Chains A and B, each alone.
Chain A
């Protein structure tokens, strides 16, 4: 069965980066785009960007350019997102999701809760 496995939670200090992973199983990793989504109580769900594992090509929401960097490791079927210079507003749950043909997100990871605090 399709699974996107994410690690549980991160507590990080302001100004530091964080890198989170999304390990995929149950389908051919290079055949589907992976999207990343931020969820907060205040702002709701926000689409951060996507990466196509086959080529490594990426696309970002303008709001997250310079904040998020998406990469993949095809050898381990894992997608990564690094967030730079974290601030309080970056505290959120971050999801990875598999993107279907028409831009829908058909499988989601369980999310990583990132808390930015000194």
Chain B
């Protein structure tokens, strides 16, 4: 299975720029997607196809990458962005998810 590796946690101040990385154990082309999950809620799609902003998601969120290295950027960060962010690949079977990056806003 394709393993997706994310750093476990980050802490930033409001107004700053934050990048969350996801590295795949094999190429996933641009079949990478990003989700935000707040406690007690279901995940919410932010970015699909590595760099496409889901409808209704603020333009502060952006994604980049292809192959094995991907980045989710939030600029500027707001207090409401406190959440865990997951990457998910759909290029290889089975779909797999990263373990999540917990973002704390200081």
Contacts and interface: CB of A to CB of B under 8 A. Distances in A.
B94 A104 contact: no
A44 B99 contact: yes
A35 B43 CA distance: 13
A106 B90 contact: no
A100 interface: yes
Interface string B4-39: 000000000000000000000000000101010000
Residue from the set A63, A103, A109 with the largest chain B CB neighbour count within 10 Å: A103
B33 A105 contact: yes
Contact of A105 (B31, B41, B88): B88
A78 to B, nearest CB: 18
Contacts of B97: 44-47
Dominant SS at the B interface?
loop
Nearest to B99: A44
A47 B96 CA distance: 6
A47 B42 contact: no
Contacts, number: 56
Nearest to A108: B42
A95 B37 CA distance: 13
B49 A104 contact: yes
Given A45-B97, A47-B94, A47-B96, A103 B33 contact: yes
Residue from the set A104, A107, A110 with the largest chain B CB neighbour count within 10 Å: A104
Name the interface size band of chain A: 20 to 34
B94 A111 contact: no
B31 A109 contact: no
A26 to B, nearest CB: 14
Interface string A73-111: 000000000000000000000010000101111111111
A61 B90 CA distance: 12
A35 B42 contact: no
Interface of A: 35, 44-47, 59, 61-63, 95, 100, 102-111
Given A44-B99, A105-B35, 10 more contacts: A44-B86, A44-B100, A45-B97, A45-B100, A46-B97, A61-B95, A102-B90, A104-B88, A108-B42, A108-B43
